[in-house]
Each structure stands twice: as structure tokens, then as C-alpha cells.
Structure 1
Amino acid sequence: MTPKHKPGPVVPSKDELVAYIKSQHDKVGIREIARAYGLKNENRAVLKTLLRELADEGKIARRKKSMHKAAGLPPVVLADVTTRDADGELIAVPADWDEDERGAPPKIRVVVPRRARPGEIPGVGDRALLRTEEVPEPDEDGIRFRGRPIKVLDKARHRVLGIFRALPDGSGRLVPVDKKSLGRELTIRSGDTGDATEGDLVAVDVARGRFGQATGKVKERLGSLASERAVSLIAIHAHGIPHVFSREVLTEADSAKPATLAGREDWREVPFVTIDPADAKDHDDAVFARPDSDPENPGGFVIDVAIADVAAYVRPGTAMDREALERGNSVYFPDRVVPMLPERISNDLCSLRPQEDRPALVARMVIGADGVKRRHTFHRVLMRSVARLHYAQAQAAADGHADDTTAPLLSLVLEPLYAAYEALKRARNARSPLDLDLPERKILLKPDFTVDRVIVPQRLEAHRLIEEYMILANVAAAETLERARTPLIYRVHDEPGLEKLNALREFLKTIDISLQKSGALRPAQFNGILSRVKGREYETLVNEVVLRSQAQAEYASENYGHFGLNLRRYAHFTSPIRRYADLVVHRALITAKKLGRDGLPDGTDAIALGEVAARISAAERRAMAAERETVDRLIAHHLADRIGATFQGHVGGVVRSGLFVKLDDTGADGFVPASTLGRDFYRYEEAQHALIGEATGESWRLGDPVTVKLVEAAPVAGALRFEIVSDGRIVPRPKGARHERPRSFGRGGRRR
């Protein structure tokens, strides 16, 4: 179907848009629709608004910046198998589905090929990659999608993880490690304890007795809390994170030989430096900058970003490659790192150590005095770093306090690096990416791996310098591969969905700030809001709410831009030691620029990379959850002996059942049940992110400062429970309204 020709570009109606989108075999974006109807820039904002409204009405589905028929699915889906139908066929739903934005997830009928091997057949509770297609008409159960399994990623776990507590009669009990299972301890009979001893982390099969009482049988001992760094061990096993390299992988890594100059440019005279955290074990990026000598680029610079050439050692299809894809990324815990690659590769052959020859891919970028990139090239080189610096050390030198290492580097290396960064800042300010002010905390451990203290590391210009250099190189990589028509994995970040925007708009009204309803959405609009609340009492609150309105960044083989960075095309190129996406981009660059035979495998296309993107996005979310839970457990251990102590904090979340409170000194999160708040019934006001007392008008809102008392700590689950001992704020009532007497209360004077 093609749109009817009209006298001049006229924005189509909603019905016309739905009809046009349904007529397309493939997903279409705003660009394709605008081109089809001849719309110019001034009409695209109106088109965007209409498409959002159609998505909100459920008439179309919006997959990032692509539109398709309602409840549509991409060709490759990460899905959870949830049930079987009456005929025994498997039914799945998408694992990554935002119901707030897109409604109920569509069901997928799993079609298992007759010749499938056992490991390729999913079961109920499994997570798998499915290649999906939409059938012309829904079947008798109303299911419109079929999915063929590509790979089963996570087998269903019919076991429970917990800590074994031995009892005198030879039996035991299991203390669950999951917050949701708190208070539901399992009994383990004396004959079912296996070889578990007091304090062991164990996997237990759950069975039901005649009267429904649950009992457990120890099936596997996973480690000892007494002898190992057990807090991260819990998260590793709870999330199924691969953490032991096979003998085949280690053999491949140990047999790897250092790369030579063959097939590479010799860049060993370029004085690259690495700038990393002081405790970094591997160094996969190095930088150098110099003023551009081209008279046509006055005030410009040439910037070189060298990235460890991991592709030279990790070849497609090898055991190391398969393991790296399975892991997806390195996982960083306060007490250990679970690396994506063996140490022989990550900490040795690919670590850009000073005064040692190392293979690298280099992005050479020329920028103008305004910081805008004018051109770039990619090179496969042998380089040699001249120094390993940490952020505070580099910043001290730039501030006039050089040490023995940085003093000889000032004029040749550090001063040009900072001068080029000043130009990049101009381009960044003009681009105006999202600029949230939410400090990150770091846990410092004692030698016994318990918490010493929690700090907020200072954000230095040296941090921002490296960030801007890496962003510039990532953009250059994406542009090069697009120009060469080579498939790649993008790092993408969608703009906020309509539901979240409406919720944000309603919240901002409560503090007399407006968010426009029409026109193209830009990060600068959020930055304007953040600047208005800078230094005001609800600065933290607004930063938190704006953050929650944002979509989650992910990997994809289709490009819909990076909203937070305000970039049209962006790919991860700069950390192939710890992210599989970057390794794929390196291979794509090697193929596109003909830099060797170890590029993308033959036949690699967007569909194949879509499968990889789905897997590593899931691995990234798995790592984030494991890291967050480990921090929660460490701090809960740290605070367990301080029951009854009071702390200063702020409300970090509001739900119907109560408040989540974040402590100011440690960043620890705990819960305050609504039933303990006070002598009132508290109504949940979603738009205001608040609980408000019906009779008293007393309220607690997201971001409010509070004083809390710690009443319970469950270190194994990482859970804390608080009571608020400070008063809430009083919400002004309309004229003529009066506070009512509190309604009836339960035990202890609390409303039940």
C-alpha cells in the first residue's frame, strides 16, 4: 500500500497511519513514514505525537523507533516458556516486555523441530531464544505468533538456594537467600542433609508432604560461608553466572602467543598513556592527543584512542569465544571479579601495560576547535604505552601537582589531552546529553572481605576526559560500519515511553514545573528541569524521578539511536576485554577495513547479530542484578549488629505497601511497611510519588529526608527493615476541608 498523493505534505490521520503500517511487511520507523508521505522536519514532531498516541491506544506497537502492528514482535525474541496448552504444546512470552508501555505480552506458540537435539528443546520455566513469525490469522487459542527455538539459555531451576543451618538431631533448616522468601524456612530431615555443614550455601530440591508442608533435600553443596567470599558466591549461583573456566578454555588461553608486527602498523613511538582507577587490574584503552598541524583546522586536534586487540586472540567459534558469549560481560563485585575472558588474555596479553608491545585497534579522530569530529580512520597497530596513570594522579598533574611519573609527560602528553578535552566539552555542551546528578557509592572492604566503609568517589575532570574520548571513538566505530554496510551491534537507548512521560508530567505539576506535551523530545528538556531544581530541597527527588522515567539501554542489531547521549548512532568499541558487544564491533571493523582474517565469520548478518544482542543484553541485566544484590547483602551484614540504631536517609521509593528508604551514609536500602507509619490510613498517590494520610494529611514523598530506626536485618537475603521516627510533611488541604479523626486501628495503635 502506498499513501495517496496530496497537494503538498499533509500529516496523515491516525486511521491512515494504522492502515499504512499494517500494509508493510517489515517494521517501519518515523523516517520511512515521513518519506512515504513527503513530510518535512516541521511536520515530523506532529507525526511523532500521533504515533505515540496510537501506541498508547494499543492500535500499533512501538518497538523502540520502529512501528508495527499492535503487540508485534521482532524476528528474534528472548522468551520465557510459561506453560503448556491442552495439547501439550509449549507457550512462551517475551522476557523483555514493558507492560506499562505496551500492555499484556503476546503469547508465542513454541514449535519444536522434529530433529531437534535434547539440549535444543526448552521446557516450562526455561528461557530461550526464539525465531518468531506472525501467522496470518490467530489460532483457536487466539495466539498469533510462532517461535522456533534457536538456543535454550537458562534451564528451569526447580531448586531453592539457601544457607544450611544444622540442628542437634542431625536434621537442618534452610534459610533462603531470596528477599521474597524471607520467613519461609525449609525443614531438612536428617537423612536429606547430604554432606552439608553449618553455614554452607546449598541447592535444595523442594517436596511437599501429605499435609502440604514443604521439606527440602540437599542436592548440591555450593560453598561455605565460613571459608569463602560467600556474599558474591550467593549472587553468582542465584543468577546462574558462569564463573569457572573449562579446561578447554584455559588451554586455549595459555597456548596463545603474543601478537607480532606482522600485518600491523608500527605505532610504538606514539606516547600513549592509560588512565584508569587506581585498583584496575586490566587496561584496555590508551589515549594520545596533539594539536592538528593542518592550517585549515586552526585550534583543532588529532585524537588517538587505542583499544586492546582482543580479536587477535579470541577467534570466532573457539572455546574462548563460546564462553565469552555465554558470559556476555565481566561481572564486578566488591570482593571479586568474574571476568569474561581468562586472565592470560584479560590481564596479560590484552592489557596495555607500560613499556610492553601490545596489539591494538586505533581510532584516529580529527576534531575542530568546536570539538566536532571532522573525520576519522581506523588502524590495526602494535603500540607501547609509556605510562599507567590513575585518575587522581592525572588530575593532580593537570592541576599543577605532578609527581615523578607525570612530570615528564606534562607538555607532550597530558596538556594536549586536556586541551583536546576542552574542545570536546564544547561539542558536548552543544549536544546537551542527559545530565543526571546521582552520585555512585563504592564499598571499601577490610582484609577479611567485610565492609570497612562506603564512600562516594570524587568525580574528576580526568574521569570526564576519558569518557568523552571513549564516546567519540564509539561513534566513529558505528559510523564506519554503517558506511561500509557491515552488520554490527549498536548500543541503543530509547526515549521515554508515553506512560512514563505522562507520569513525569503529572509529578512535575506538583512542584510547579511543566513538561511540554508536543514537539520532538530531547535530553535538553530534562536538563532544563534539572537545572531549575539545582540546590533546592527537592533536587534529589527530581533527579530520581527523571531517572525512573528513562528507558533502559540495551544492545540491538537495529539502530534507534541513543537518547541519553543524544547521538544518532552509537556502538560499544572501547572495552572488548569485558564486553562481548565490543568484541563483535572489533571483528566487524576488521572485516569492513580489511585488517585481517579474524573478523566476522562468513554469513554473519543482522539476524545473527540480533540473536547475539538479545543474549548479551540479558547477560548485562543478570550482572546488574547480581552486583546490586551483593552490595545489599554486604551492607546488611555490616549493619546487622546495629539493631535499634537510628540513621539519616531519604525516601528512595514509594509503593502502596510502604516506603523504601535509602540511608545517606551507606546508600543501604530498607523497607518501611505502611502499617508502621503512624496513626492514620495512608493513601498511595502515584502522581506525587507519595503516601498521604487521609485524616492527618501527613505525607512521605520520594526524596523526603527521614530519620529511621533499624528494626530487622537479614544479611543472607540483603534485606533491612526500618521504622520512621521523624515526622512527615503536612500536605495543605483545600479551603473548607478539615482533617478527620483517624479511623479504627489494630494492635499497637497501628492501622491494620
Structure 2
Amino acid sequence: MTEESHPQIPSDNRTDTPPADPHADREADKYDNPIPSREFIIDLLEKEQKPMRIKQIADSLDIDDDERFEALSRRLKAMVRDGQLLRNRRGAFGLIQKMDLIKGKVIGHPGGFGFVQPEDGGSDLFLGDREMHKVFHGDLVIASVIGVDRKGRREGMIVEIIEHANEQLLGRLHFEDGLAWVQPTNNKIAQDVFIPQDGLLNAEEGQIVLVEVIHQPTKRSSAIGKVIEVIGDYLAPGMEIDSAIHAYDIPNEWSEDTTKQLDAIPDEVTEADKEGRKDLRSLPLVTIDGEDSKDFDDAVFAKRRKKGWRLVVAIADVSHYVKPGTPLDKEAYERGNSVYFPQQVIPMLPEKLSNGLCSLNPKVDRLCMVCDMYIDDDGKLERTQFYDAVMNSKARLTYNQVHEMLTDEQSEHRQTFAEFVPNIEDLNDLYQVLKKAREERGALDFDTTETRIVFDENRKIEKIVPVTRNDAHKLIEECMLMANVATARYLKWHKIPMLYRVHEKPSEERLTNLRTFLGDFGLTLEGGDEPGAQDYAAVSEAVKGTPHEHLVETVLLRSMNQAVYQPENQGHFGLNYEYYTHFTSPIRRYPDLLIHRAIRFAWTKQAVTEFNYSEQDMKSFGEHCSSTERRADEATRDAVTFLKCEFLSHRLGEEYDAVVTAATNFGLFVELDPLYVEGLVHITELGEDYFHYDASRHCLKGERTGKVYRLGDRLRVQVAQVNLDDRKIDLRFLSSEEDGDSETTAETKPEGAETSADESGESKPKKRKRSYRKKRGGRGRGGKKKTGS
């Protein structure tokens, strides 16, 4: 029985709560016979400065009757369960922080080791494979620091497991010598789960199965489970997606309550819904998206004025249909964002809304929230108006159509969409102004070549092709960026709790390593201790057209932090914006839905305290949504990596040119031309020498020969081995670009020498870099939308 469910005692047996407890009234409201609050118990232990047994705690709190003693016992056990206290071997309760213990989440590694990620944000605690044998990836634990390993990392030991994260696991079933076990598909879980003979459910060797964990792993025993569902054969089409969905715990089924709410929503916009809204149905708003898009978040219109521009960005009004606290809202929150796998989407909202009622489809009335902006001739935002509206998209255009319309006077699209050509040209003229303003602002703008997987009729990879971003993509991106900035400024002025999209400045350590690296090329990063995006942009500009352009820009990107959602505004470093948020994609991102609700609340002119969400609520929302975004990235990467491994498993022994994309202390990761598939050249493949990893210079250097391998170097490699279970591709090193047919040599370069490249430009490394534009227009794997900056 939990603390919260202890039996309520009749009021005539009530014992007064100690008056010193500041939370006594709250406890009295919750329980008929209240006991001191958790906070008060923690204060007591802090004052006593020692662990205390339950009898000592009860005496100190004046608890002398059996009922309240039992309630105290349950409360202390609940505090241990939640990681607030720890019970030592003598049975005494103590404060975790006083016992040099750390509460955190276990992060597994395919190599068998792992880390504890502290809840308080401190540095990770390393766990060796013996400690990882006790837990699974994702478990919540209490750990103690037992020393520092040879790499200088704090090393830990698990003291207690607070919460198991994996009650079910997906994996591949194996048999050997009468034993059966499941190897989890999530490569962060290195432990197998053993299956008794009566728990096999007629599953066969090699099949993918769903397992219920009956006994969690311990120090002395492995996990034991039973098969509760046979998912399918190992290499069945689409199995990689099913595996990723289960491995990363991505919600993919709608609850009964959600379905009921959805059924009550009309299939079309009603006349009642249109009342009180501004009528924009005569305005020539159009959507511009990819060829395979099905959900249309935004429509745009631009018009030249005597001085400056009017830009209208109309966004699907999801908040009209998805109200706080409803089943649809709870489902959207749990998902956090849509997940875009190759040829399959796990949407944040049901298809009736995402592809239907909320999607700004052409020639039908739709509800929208409008960001109506006035921009001066220098591309600066003058003023903004937000309002509810009803619109009717005049055309569904694609990026390629718009690009042709703008670059080819004879394009058939100029004839087909003749009535919209003036509007498109106005949008393009505004884009040129915004592009110039971006350059003057010093925002980072690295070109990016993403890839798209082309499948055959059996849903196996036929080829992987680059996807080129043209000016039509960039046109829409700049419009969305302007709307996001206008939104952040608007809500900042109204002082309403909100989620900013924050991209923090690089850390001091990363800046030191970056400057060391740049120094080898005679480059300098200005800006002192706090360089800005414009300083990064200056370095990028200085290497344009040089053989090491790709290398330097890659290292610049890797020195920066990952963008997150949070209520504390710290600006967006990459875009060089003081205020920035996400407003333009409420169909596929929960933070955007929260922003729409904040805007709608601002119109009511109520006190900020009346808003549905507090600053603390927004902090929780931000942490959750940042986490679901990372989850989506990891899941899609896992599925795509499996597909690429399976693709290359049929090419063992084939040779390819490749470019080094990363250097580590165990080898080089390289990308194969022209496959856009990455594999590992292990350090032992590089020749008879001791190679050492230099993190600041992103290279491996031979101790005896002085041979150096770094990012951007071109190699000749052979596919040696592919491990589908571990998603690993091992490559044999044949030669570096300048060494011809030598099988064990590499170019020798002094530190500071330029990375190898084909000076003629015929074999420059393929560019695959992140862009700090808002990736609203970019299409990732399978041509689907991805989360933006």
C-alpha cells in the first residue's frame, strides 16, 4: 500500500500535526490523520546531520500512536522509492546528498558499459560492464562514486534501483544447447533476456518477439522473461520500424478515449467555427511543400508596399480542436512530436486532424492563426498582428514547381499557376531582402545535402540519393523564421510563460578545442570568451572555396550545443536571434501547440496568473518535448542504420572511395561514395604503428610514422563485415587518396597541414551537414519533415 493510499483515521482519534511543519495545512487537507510532510522530514534529517531509524524519527516528530506510526513507515518507504532518502544496512534513513550518492538515469552503451546521467545536471558517472549487468538502459538508480578511471571519468557503483524502465522488451530470439534467449533490438541494452521453455509462445529461431520481463537483472543473475507476442521475421519489410518503435517506446496506438473524442469532431469546418474570425478566403494564400507532403501546417502571402513589405503567415489552428486536458491533448503531449520514418509516419495527432481538418489543403475552408507582419526595406520586423482567421488555400505548390517558376521563364508551371506568379515573385523579392539581412546579422548558414532512401518493390533499399535544397526551400524557411521571431517577441512583451527554442553558446572546453583545431589552419575565431554566430560565420567565410572548407565547417558545427525547449530565454546562437520560439508547426510539434495557446490567452488580457500553465509547468514541458525530439531522432536513425546495414550486407568484398566523417580513439568513421552509408575503419587497420586520438584536432596520429588521419581525408576501403544485430559496418583500409594502391599506408602530414582533397574539385567530399535554418522545408529520411532548429 502506498503512502497516498493509507487508510483514513476517524477524526476523533486525530493527533495534531507538529506546528513547526510549514506544510501542515496541506497534509491536513489530504489526510484525516496527517503526519509531517516529506519536506519536514528532510529538514529534520538535515538538522540531525546523521541517518535515523524510524523509531528515532517518530520520537522526534511526536508520533506515538500505531496508526500514525504505520503512516510514517509508508511515507519513509515512498521517499526511498522516489529517491529522496536511502535506507542503509543498519535500517536507518539518510539523505542521499549527505551520503555522496547520485540519483540519475542509466544510459547504456552497445559496448556493455554505461553511465548514470544525474538528475541535477552534473557530469555523468561511468558504469563498468559488471555494474551494467544489474540494470537496463533507462532504469532510475541511486549510485555512489567509487573513484576515477584511467580516462579521468568518475566511476560509479549502483546502490539501489529506484525504478525499472523496461517491463517489456523487443528482441531477436535465439536457441542453443536447449537454452533460449532474446537479444534486445535496442543496442543500448547489451544484456540478453533468458526465456524458459514454457515462455516461448511457439516462437521460432531468429524471429522478432515482444518479451515481458518477469525478473529484472541483478548482480548475480540475468534477466528472465516470457514471449508475449511474435512480431515477425527478422528481415521482414518494415520490421526495422516496428523494432525502433518498441525499442524507443514511441506511442503508436490511439487510446479509446482519444478515438471517442475524435469521432465527436465534425469532418469539415462548421459555420459556427468560422464565427468571430477574420475572413481571409479572398487572400491568395498558398502552401509550398515537398512532393510527398500530406500535412500542410502553413500558407504564405507577401505584398510589396510603398515602404517595405507585408508578410502573412497563416498556421493551422490546431489549438481550436485540441483543448488542454482532453484525451487528444494528453496523447499529443505523450508523443511530443511526429516521428518520420522512411515511408511511414507516427503522427502526433490522428490522421483526421493532421492530414484532414487541420491541414491547410487546397480549395477548402480551414481555421488558422495568422501572424501578419510588416517588414521594412532592410528586412527588419516593424510590427506584428496576431488573429484568428478562416482561409482557403488557393493552391498546393511544391518546392520544385516554385523553383522552376522563379528560374525558368518558359516553365510550364508559370502557365499552370499564372495567377499566382506575381505573388510568388513578391515572396522571392522579400526572400532576397531577408537573406541579405541574415547575412548582415551573421547567422550561420551552412549548406546541407540530405539524403532520401529509394525502395524497391520488396521495400529493400534500391539506392540512396541526395536531396538538393533550392531557393524555394530557403524562401519558406525565412518566412517561418520571421514568424517564429515575431511570436517570441510578442509573448515576451506580454510576459506569458512560454517555451523558447534555445540554442546556447558553445562551452569553454569546446571553444578551446575549436581554437586549437583552427590554429593548425592559420585561422582565428574572434569574440574572446563569448564568440557570437557572426564570429563563426567569419571563419566559415574565410574557408569558402578552399580544400578544407568541408572539414572546418564540420568542426564548427560539432563545437556547438543541441537546441532545446525551455522557459528561460538564452537566445538562439546559430540563428543569432535574441528571442526565438516555434510557432509554425502545431500539427507535428507539441511546443508549437503550447505557443498557440499562449497567444490566444494574450488576447483575453487577463492576468498572467490566470494562464493554464506556470513557469514550472513550462519547464517540465520543455524537458519532455526536448526528450521526445531526441527520442524521435534516435529511433529514425536506428531504423535507417539497420536498412543501410542490410543494404551493404549484400556487398561484402566490394571496394569504395570514402571520406572520413569522424575520428575516435578506436578508429575512423567514413562515408562511402556514392552510397551515403557510414562504416568503421578500426584503428588496427591503419598500419603497424601506435595511433593516438587528438580530440582537439579531430584526428588519429601515428606515434612512429607521424601519419595523420583526420576529418575530410579520402580513403579507399573494402566492405569486410556487416553485423545487422549491432548495426555495425566494418571496413578494411586499402589506401589513402594520395597513396595509390598501397594497402597499409596512409599519407604522412605534419600537424597543421591541409586535409587531403582533390584540388581539381572532381572528388571533393560530399557535404552532409546540419543547417541552423529552421528545417521546416527540409525533407529528411524518406522525404518527410524533420524537427527544426
Q: Shorter-chain TM-score: which interval?
A: 0.7 to 0.9
Measure the CA separation in 1 of the matches of 2:654 and 2:136. 46
Q: Structure 1 residues 353, 238: CA separation in 2 closer, same or farther (over 3 Å shift)?
A: same
Q: Which amino acid aligns with 2:366?
A: R
Q: Which residue of 2 aligns with 1:625?
A: 634
The TM-score with structure 1 as length reference comes to 0.75
Does structure 2 conserve the Cα–Cα contact (< 8 Å) formed by 1:588 and 1:600?
A: no
What is the SS of the residue equivalent to 1:421?
helix
Q: Which residue of 2 aligns with 1:256?
A: 265
Residues 362-418 of structure 1: per-residue CA shift (max 9 Å, x gap): 111111121111111011000000000110011111122142774323444211111
Q: Structure 1 residues 326, 107: CA separation in 2 closer, same or farther (over 3 Å shift)?
A: closer
What is the SS of the residue equivalent to 1:436?
coil
Q: Which amino acid aligns with 2:643?
A: L
Measure the CA separation in 1 of the matches of 2:218 and 2:288. 63
Q: Which amino acid aligns with 1:638?
A: F
Does structure 1 conserve the Cα–Cα contact (< 8 Å) formed by 2:105 and 2:119?
A: no
Does structure 2 conserve the Cα–Cα contact (< 8 Å) formed by 1:334 and 1:444?
A: no
- Paired residues in the alignment total 607
Q: Which amino acid aligns with 1:365?
A: M
Does structure 2 conserve the Cα–Cα contact (< 8 Å) formed by 1:159 and 1:206?
A: no
Q: Report the Cα offset of residue 602 of structure 1.
A: 4.0
Q: Which residue of 1 aligns with 2:301?
A: 288
Q: Which residue of 1 aligns with 2:369?
A: 361
What is the SS of the residue equivalent to 2:468?
coil
Q: Which residue of 1 aligns with 2:594?
A: 584
Q: Report the Cα offset of residue 718 of structure 1.
A: 2.1
Q: Which amino acid aligns with 1:670?
A: G
Q: Which residue of 1 aligns with 2:198?
A: 191
Q: Structure 1 residues 677, 126: CA separation in 2 closer, same or farther (over 3 Å shift)?
A: closer
Decide which of 670, 693, 703 is 2:679's aligned counterpart.
670
Residues 468-519 of structure 1: per-residue CA shift (max 9 Å, x gap): 0000000111111111122211111001111000010111112221223626
Q: Structure 1 residues 273, 719: CA separation in 2 closer, same or farther (over 3 Å shift)?
A: same
Decide which of 717, 723, 738 is 2:732's aligned counterpart.
723
Q: Do residues 498 (structure 1) and 508 (structure 2) align? A: yes
Q: Report the Cα offset of residue 450 of structure 1.
A: 1.5
Q: How does 1:220-619 map to 2 (within 5 A)?
A: 220-221=228-229, 223-225=231-233, 229-257=238-266, 258-259=269-270, 260-292=273-305, 295=306, 297=307, 300-399=308-407, 400=409, 401-403=411-413, 406-516=416-526, 518=528, 520-594=530-604, 602-619=611-628
Q: Structure 1 residues 242, 159: CA separation in 2 closer, same or farther (over 3 Å shift)?
A: closer
Measure the CA separation in 1 of the matches of 2:590 and 2:218. 49
Residues 430-465 of structure 1: per-residue CA shift (max 9 Å, x gap): 112112234222222223322121111111100000
Q: Which residue of 2 aligns with 1:648?
A: 657
Q: Do residues 174 (structure 1) and 182 (structure 2) align? A: yes
Q: Structure 1 residues 487, 210: CA separation in 2 closer, same or farther (over 3 Å shift)?
A: closer
Measure the CA separation in 1 of the matches of 2:663 and 2:647. 25
Q: Do residues 687 (structure 1) and 700 (structure 2) align? A: no
Measure the CA separation in 2 of the matches of 1:180 and 1:237. 13
Does structure 2 conserve the Cα–Cα contact (< 8 Å) formed by 1:397 and 1:406?
A: no
Segments of structure 2 that go 5 or more residues without pairing to the other structure are: 1-80, 108-114, 122-134, 142-161, 737-745, 753-789
Measure the CA separation in 1 of the matches of 2:339 and 2:119. 32
Does structure 2 conserve the Cα–Cα contact (< 8 Å) formed by 1:289 and 1:420?
A: yes
Does structure 2 conserve the Cα–Cα contact (< 8 Å) formed by 1:81 and 1:125?
A: no
Q: Which residue of 1 aligns with 2:132?
A: none
Q: How does 1:102-251 map to 2 (within 5 A)?
A: 156-157=165-166, 160-165=169-174, 172-179=180-187, 188-204=195-211, 205=213, 214=222, 216-221=224-229, 223-225=231-233, 229-251=238-260
Q: Structure 1 residues 85, 561: CA separation in 2 closer, same or farther (over 3 Å shift)?
A: farther
Q: Report the Cα offset of residue 250 of structure 1.
A: 1.8
Q: Report the Cα offset of residue 625 of structure 1.
A: 0.9
Measure the CA separation in 2 of the matches of 1:208 and 1:157. 9
What is the SS of the residue equivalent to 1:670?
strand
Measure the CA separation in 1 of the matches of 2:453 and 2:690. 38
Q: Structure 1 residues 316, 461: CA separation in 2 closer, same or farther (over 3 Å shift)?
A: same
Q: Structure 1 residues 464, 365: CA separation in 2 closer, same or farther (over 3 Å shift)?
A: same
Residues 622-681 of structure 1: per-residue CA shift (max 9 Å, x gap): 111111111111100111111111122122222212222222323222222212221111
Choose 263-272 or 196-205, whichever is displaced more.
196-205
Q: Report the Cα offset of residue 174 of structure 1.
A: 3.2
Q: Which residue of 2 aligns with 1:29?
A: none
What is the SS of the residue equivalent to 2:259?
helix
What is the SS of the residue equivalent to 2:450?
coil
Does structure 1 conserve the Cα–Cα contact (< 8 Å) formed by 2:105 and 2:118?
A: no
Q: Which amino acid aligns with 2:434?
A: L
Q: Report the Cα offset of residue 311 of structure 1.
A: 0.3
Does structure 1 conserve the Cα–Cα contact (< 8 Å) formed by 2:284 and 2:301?
A: yes
Does structure 1 conserve the Cα–Cα contact (< 8 Å) formed by 2:658 and 2:716?
A: yes
Q: Report the Cα offset of residue 548 of structure 1.
A: 0.8
Measure the CA separation in 2 of the matches of 1:341 and 1:600. 29
Does structure 1 conserve the Cα–Cα contact (< 8 Å) formed by 2:210 and 2:231?
A: no
What is the SS of the residue equivalent to 1:382?
strand
Measure the CA separation in 1 of the matches of 2:467 and 2:702. 38
What is the SS of the residue equivalent to 1:660?
strand
Q: Which amino acid aligns with 1:201?
A: I
Does structure 1 conserve the Cα–Cα contact (< 8 Å) formed by 2:657 and 2:714?
A: yes
Q: Report the Cα offset of residue 716 of structure 1.
A: 3.6
Measure the CA separation in 2 of the matches of 1:581 and 1:636. 34
Q: Which amino acid aligns with 2:207?
A: D
Segments of structure 1 that go 5 or more residues without pairing to the other structure are: 1-78, 98-102, 110-122, 130-151, 735-752
Q: Structure 1 residues 684, 671: CA separation in 2 closer, same or farther (over 3 Å shift)?
A: same
Q: Report the Cα offset of residue 533 of structure 1.
A: 2.1
Measure the CA separation in 1 of the matches of 2:455 and 2:447. 26
Residues 543-577 of structure 1: per-residue CA shift (max 9 Å, x gap): 22111100110000110100110000011000000
Choose 322-331 or 534-543, whichever is displaced more.
534-543
Q: Which amino acid aligns with 2:562?
A: Q
Q: Do residues 732 (structure 1) and 742 (structure 2) align? A: no
> How well do the aligned residues superpose, as a CA RMSD in angstroms?
3.4
Measure the CA separation in 1 of the matches of 2:647 and 2:105. 35
Q: Which amino acid aligns with 1:342?
A: P
Measure the CA separation in 2 of the matches of 1:211 and 1:126. 17
What is the SS of the residue equivalent to 1:593?
helix
The TM-score with structure 2 as length reference comes to 0.71
Q: Percent of counterpart pairs with the same letter?
A: 35
Residues 156-191 of structure 1: per-residue CA shift (max 9 Å, x gap): 116653212467x88645344244667x76664543
Does structure 1 conserve the Cα–Cα contact (< 8 Å) formed by 2:414 and 2:421?
A: no
Does structure 2 conserve the Cα–Cα contact (< 8 Å) formed by 1:272 and 1:288?
A: yes
What is the SS of the residue equivalent to 2:536?
helix
Q: Which amino acid aligns with 1:302?
A: R
